[in-house]
C-alpha cells in the first residue's frame, strides 16, 4: 500500500490536493505522449482501433456507442486511421446501406506491439482495492468535479489529456 503523508493544516491540504491532481494530469500526459511517439497513435485512436479489431466488422455508429464517444469525434478519428491504411470500409453483404469497418493487417501488427492503455492497468489495480476504498475514492473525485465546477463537461471512460480533436492531430 502507498504511504500517504499526514495532513498538516487546511492550507497545506488544499495544496496537497492540487499537487496530487497535477501529478495525475502529468502522468496521463506522459503516457499519451509516449504512445504517440512510440506508435504514432493517440489514446482515442488506439481505443477505436482495438474495438474495430475485436469485431467482425462494425458500423461507425455502433463503434461510437461502444466506446462512449460522439459520432463526430469517431468519424474524425476514422478518417485519420483510414489515411494511414489501418482500417478499411466495406459495404455489408446483408445490408448494402451499412458500411462496416475492419482493421487491416498493418493495424493488427501495430496492435500486437502497442502497450495496454493506461486505464486498463488503472482499472486492474483499482479493482483490487476493497469496496469501501473504491467508494471513498469515487466519492472524493465526484466532490472534486463539483468543486471544480466541471459537472457539465462530458467525458468518456478513458484517460487522455487535452481536447480529443487536438489529440487526434498527427
Cβ atoms 58, 51 nearer than 8 A: yes
* pLDDT surpasses 50 at 168: no
Which pTM does this prediction carry? 0.71
154 or 6: which leads in pLDDT: 154
Closest CA to 107 of 76, 80, 77, 85: 85
From 30-34, 109-113, 145-149, the region with the lowest mean pLDDT: 30-34
- 3-state DSSP percent of the chain in helix, strand and coil, to 5: 60, 5, 30
Domains and CATH numbers, the chain: 14-168 (1.10.10.10)
Cβ atoms 100, 58 nearer than 8 A: yes
How confident is residue 67, by pLDDT bands cut at 50, 70 and 90? confident
Closest CA to 53 of 4, 1, 113: 113
Amino acid at each position: 500500500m502507498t504511504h500517504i503523508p499526514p495532513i498538516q493544516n487546511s492550507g497545506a491540504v488544499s495544496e496537497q490536493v492540487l499537487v496530487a491532481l497535477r501529478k495525475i494530469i502529468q502522468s496521463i500526459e506522459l503516457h499519451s505522449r509516449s504512445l504517440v511517439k512510440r506508435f504514432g497513435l493517440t489514446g482515442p485512436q488506439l481505443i477505436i482501433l482495438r474495438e474495430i479489431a475485436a469485431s467482425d466488422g462494425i458500423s461507425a455508429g455502433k463503434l461510437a456507442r461502444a466506446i462512449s464517444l460522439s459520432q463526430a469525434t469517431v468519424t474524425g478519428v476514422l478518417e485519420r486511421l483510414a489515411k494511414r491504411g489501418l482500417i478499411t470500409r466495406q459495404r455489408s453483404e446483408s445490408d448494402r446501406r451499412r458500411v462496416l469497418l475492419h482493421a487491416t493487417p498493418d493495424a493488427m501488427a501495430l496492435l500486437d506491439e502497442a502497450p495496454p492503455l493506461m486505464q486498463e492497468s488503472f482499472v486492474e489495480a483499482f479493482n483490487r482495492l476493497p469496496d469501501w476504498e473504491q467508494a471513498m475514492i469515487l466519492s472524493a473525485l465526484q466532490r472534486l468535479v463539483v468543486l471544480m465546477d466541471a459537472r457539465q463537461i462530458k467525458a468518456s471512460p478513458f484517460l487522455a489529456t487535452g481536447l480529443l480533436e487536438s489529440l487526434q492531430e498527427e
